[in-house]
Chain A
Amino acid sequence: MKQFLQWQYWRAYVWPDKPEPAKSRQIARGRLRFLSIPAALCFITIAAQATNLSVFTADERIYGRKTQDAIERGPILDRRGRLIASTVPVMVLHADPEKLLNPTETAAKLNAYLPKKTEEQIYHLLKRKTRYVELDRKITPKRHADILQLGLPGIYITPATTRLYPHGREAAHLVGAVDIDGKGIAGIELSQNAQLAAGQPVHLSIDLGIQAIIRRTVAEQIEKFEAIGGVGLMLDMKTGELLSMVSLPDFDPNHMMASTDDARFHQAAKGVFEMGSIFKILNTAIALETGAVVPEDTIDVRKPMRIGRFTINDYHPLQRDLNISEILVHSSNIGSAQMVERVGPETQKAYMDKLGLLRPTALEIPENALPLLPDRWGRLASITIAYGHGLSVSPVQAAAAISAASGTGDYIAPTLLKREAGHVPERVRIFSADTAKAVRSMMRLVVSHKSGTGNFADAPGYLVGGKTGTAEKIINKGYNKKSNRVSFVGTFPAHDPAYLIFVMVDEPKGQKHSYGYATAGWVAAPAIRKIVEQTAPLLGVTPVMSASPALRQTLLPAVMIDGEEAIHAAF
C-alpha cells in the first residue's frame, strides 16, 4: 500500500523513465502495426460510404425529391371570376389484385367503407386479372385513416386529383365534363381542352348570378305549368356574349353517370325547334328591309289563305285590314304570310342564311345543332317559315338572329367566352337602323299595348319589347294540338336594346290559375318580367319613369293599333 503514497509511482504513468531505446522502439512498432489495421478499416469504411452517398445514390435521392407534379388542369371561371370548374386533390383507393392475400376477406372488410358498392361488386373488382383496380376516388380523411388501420396488403391509397363543379347543376350543360383521365369530353371542357390542359384558366361570358335567376325562373314556370323542360338564354346584344344559358332538365356534373340521357341533352344549343311566332319578328324585319312593305301598309287578313291542300288560319281572326305593327301585335299568320309573298322565297332564304339560321353557330362548344331546313324552299315553305314553322333552329341561333333584327341591325355571332373590355365584335350589317328601330317599336307594342300577346312580360320602367311564340310539337309526323312548345323572346330597354332574353317551356299544360291557358303569353311572358326585374339592377340598367323626347325619338312615332294611336311606353 505504501507504494501508492509515493509520488514516483504516479509519475511513472505520466512521465515514465526513459526506457531502453531499442526495446521501446520494438514495442512501439508492434503497437502501431496492430492499431493501424482497425484505423485503416475505419477510414476505408468512411471513404466507401462517403463515395457511395455522394456519387452513386445522389441521383436517386435528387430524383426522389423532384416530385414535379403534372400541370394541373386550368379552372373554368364565370365572367366575374366565380369558380365553375376546378381541379382539387383527392385520395384514391385502389388495389393490386396480384398482391392480395385473400380477396374474399378483403372485400368483406372494405365493404363497410365503400357504401356505393356491394360486397359482391368489390369482390369482382378484386378478382380482375390486372395490376390496378380503382375502388373509390373520393376517400375522406376519416375513411382514409380507418382503411389504413385495416392493414390490408395490396390495398393502397394514393393522392390524385379530380374535377369538381362547385355550382353543380347551374351551368352543367355548357361546361360539359371530363373523363377519368381529366380530358374534356363535352362542352367547354372539350372545346377548350388545349388551353385547360396547359393549366390556363378559361373565362366564360356567363354570369352565374344571372344564370341562377334565369334557371330558377324557368324552373318555376315548368313546375307551375307541369311542363317537361325549358330553355332560358340571356344575350348581351352589344357584344354577342351569352350571359346565361339554361337547359332544363339538367344534371349534376359531379355525378354525371347518375343522370339520364334526356337530362344531359343540351337543348339550348343542341336542340332544334320550330320557333313559332317569334319568327314573325324576322319576317317583319326582312319585309321592311327589302322594301316589300312599309310600316303604314295594310294587309287584308279576313280570309284564310289556301295554298294547295294547306290552309293558313289565324288564332283570333280579325275582320279588317291590319297594318304591319298590328300584324305583329295580334300575331297574324295570314298577315305574315302575305308579307313574305311580297318578299319571295329566295330573298327570305338569303336573309335567313345571313342571320346564321341555315348552319350551326360557331359557339365554343361541340354541341352545336345543325338546323333542319325544308326539303324544298318554295312558296309553301316560305309562308310557313314566315310564322315559324318548317325551319327548325336552336334557341341560340334564334336569339342571335332576333338580336340583329331588333338591336342595331348588325349580326354578331354569339359567344360563350368572355370578351375583354373594349373588344370590338365582328359585325355583319343585315338590317338598316330604320328597320331595326321599326322592329323594336313593334316588339315594344306587343308587350305594352293592351291588345298585345305579351302583356305579362312588361316590367314597369324597363321598356321590355318582345314576341310570343307557340308552336305545336310534331309527334308522329303530324302537329299535335295538345302539346305545345311556347317561347318568348324579349329585349330591354326598348329605346336602346342591350339585353335579349329567350325563354322556352316545353309542353306546358293549362292550369286553374291560368284559366286553362298554356300559351306563350301565359307561360313564358311572366318569366321575362321576373327575369328583367331581378337582373336589371345587376346589369346596371336603370329604369326610366318618364318619356323624354330623346327617348321617344328612338321608337317609331304615331303607330295606329286597333284604330287608335298607340303609345310605346306606357310608363
Chain B
Amino acid sequence: MRWFFLLTLIVAVFGSGLYLVKRSIDARYDQLATLQQDIAREKNKSAILNAEWSYLTRPDRLLQLSDKLLSMRPIDADRILPLEAIPVRSSHKGRHAQ
C-alpha cells in the first residue's frame, strides 16, 4: 500500500511537470505565431510603403513637379568650378587675422 502511494505520488509529480512544460511550449508557440503574424503584417506594410515611396519619388514625377513648382534649370557650365579653382586664404591668416 505504501509503495502504491509512493508510485502514485511520483506519477502525479512527473505528470504535472510534463503538463506544465507542455503548456509552456504551447504558450510559446502561440507567442511565436503572433510574432510571425506581426512580422508578416509589418513586412507587408513596409512593402506597400516602399512601393508608394518609390511611386511618389519617381524621377519623371519629380521633374514635372520641379518644372511646375520650382523655377530651377540646369546650371550653365561656366558657373561650375572645381574646388581647386577657388583661391582660399591660408587658414593661419584667415583664422587669426585681427
Contact = CB atoms under 8 A, between A and B. Distances in A.
Co-assembled chains A and B = yes
A298 interface: no
Interface in B56-93: 57-60, 63, 74-78, 80-82
Contacts of A82: 54, 57
B11 interface: no
Interface string B7-44: 00000000000010010001001101100110010001
B77 A212 contact: no
B29 A83 contact: no
A404 interface: no
Contacts of B32: 65
B52 to A, nearest CB: 8
A533 B72 CA distance: 13
Given A65-B33, A67-B36, A88-B48, A166 B54 contact: yes
A461 B58 contact: no
B75 A170 contact: no
Contacts, number: 83
Nearest to A215: B60
B36 A212 contact: no
Contact of B74 (A166, A216, A537): A537
A209 interface: yes
| Among B53, B57, B74, residue most surrounded by chain A Cβ atoms (within 10 Å) | B74
A529 to B, nearest CB: 10
A335 to B, nearest CB: 33
Contacts of A164: 51
A435 to B, nearest CB: 29
| Among A58, A83, A462, A542, residue most surrounded by chain B Cβ atoms (within 10 Å) | A83
A462 B76 CA distance: 11
A459 interface: yes
B59 A208 contact: yes
B30 A65 contact: yes
B44 A89 contact: yes
A292 interface: no
Q: Helix, strand, loop or mixed for chain B's interface?
A: helix
A459 B51 CA distance: 36
A460 interface: yes
Contact of A213 (B44, B51, B59, B81): B59
A211 interface: yes
A534 B63 CA distance: 11
Given A88-B47, A167-B58, A209-B59, A545 B40 contact: no
Contact of B58 (A62, A166, A459): A166
A104 interface: no
B53 to A, nearest CB: 8
A542 B82 contact: yes
Given A54-B22, A65-B30, A170 B80 contact: no
A58 B51 CA distance: 40
A543 interface: yes
Contact of B80 (A50, A461, A534): A461
Q: How large is the interface on A (under 10, 10 to 19, 20 to 34, 35 or more residues)?
A: 35 or more
A181 interface: no
B55 interface: yes
A168 interface: yes
Contacts of B82: 542
B80 A212 contact: no
B50 A545 contact: no
A170 B77 contact: no
B59 A170 contact: yes
A483 interface: no
B38 to A, nearest CB: 12
A86 B60 contact: no
Contact of A65 (B29, B44, B81): B29
B19 to A, nearest CB: 8
Nearest to A462: B77
Given A69-B40, A83-B54, A88-B51, A460 B60 contact: no
Nearest to A55: B22
A501 B29 CA distance: 58
Nearest to A77: B54
A111 interface: no
A542 B80 contact: yes
Interface of A: 50, 54, 58, 62, 65-67, 69, 82-84, 86-89, 164, 166-168, 170, 208-209, 211-213, 215-216, 459-462, 533-534, 537, 542-543, 545
Q: 5 tightest A-B contacts by CB?
A: A461-B77, A212-B59, A543-B77, A166-B54, A65-B33
Interface of B: 19, 22, 26, 29-30, 32-33, 36-37, 40, 44, 47-48, 50-55, 57-60, 63, 74-78, 80-82
16 contacts: A69-B40, A83-B51, A88-B44, A88-B47, A89-B47, A166-B58, A167-B55, A168-B58, A170-B60, A212-B60, A212-B63, A216-B60, A459-B77, A461-B78, A545-B77, A545-B78
Given A89-B44, A170-B59, A170-B60, 9 more contacts: A67-B36, A82-B57, A88-B47, A88-B51, A166-B51, A167-B58, A208-B58, A537-B75, A545-B81
